[in-house]
A and B are shown apart, each in its own frame.
Chain A
């Protein structure tokens, strides 16, 4: 691979590579990983963060001999928009005590999808509250499982107590076109700037 880019006409190696983040949040078992897998060009990748008993999210400047007590799994998928421009979809860890990881994921993120199951809408409250407070654009995607009643978006909006203009989309996370629609709705909303 060529790294010299000083000569005219010699292409520098992707000097402006950019990766954007979209978070996929929602309650346990609502279909976050399925959604990521449906649209990702790669089988969702898995990584882990090790947590120490020194305290979660506290910067340990000594940085030694931290005893590990637990791990947080993080699954993500990728969409290559073009060479040097990628979109990453991160499924957020479900448990509340991992909020610190949400902070990192949300920093600089394009936006978020809050996946909701109408049978357990309350599971979506923490994510909705979180993104509203951060001023991060988000859409609520209601996953219509087989047999689940197709809910009226207006009722879902009321039930969730959505105060802002976040769009609500009915979707099936197993269907690629449906997930595409969720994502295009989110990006369009982010561009509109209506959330801020």
Chain B
């Protein structure tokens, strides 16, 4: 069996049989049901607003639980990676014949599985509720998904992967789930804001780097107005109403590429941190 297949099979076995995975994904699914159910209920109460009919409902369905879905993925990654250090199975896997690089490769497989799993669950649960709403309110679905929705789904995946890679770095740096979660939430809640403040006070080109800090970049990517023409029109109208200039999303392509590069850098840093230390 090829190494990649071995890593995939082992990571899938370990992740799917882990109670923490089932509990975390169960809680996430429950949260998604609550959010999508609430939108469904609002649509039933106010049918004149329309909205909860596919495909028009997608931007809202993707935007509302977007950041929580990234946090669920991050928590799950930290739990799954760091337990390998606390149970010393990271060490045993290497003793059993994986090289350290191959073991890390297994964690990259896990990273992909968790990110795709969280986004997939998000789409499945909210999409199912919205499909049911579409049949109930509009009597059917003409188009399931538009091109702009697919692009926004991609941006959602990039956000989950981006914050997931921050979590991976925290997990490999701390090697223990408690400290790793503290490190992750400190960065996303406070650390990056402090860093942004320092950078913006420096002015010039350095200040413009604030937009590329991971939390800011990844959470701004799935904004509906970036991808959905109707949402963009609403954003322009809202800006005009308040006398603000219209929003400018011309940097979207740049943000996507910088985001991908940041994921690569964060995962490489996680690998270097892991490789440097003995097991």
User: Do the two shown chains form a genuine complex with each other?
Assistant: no
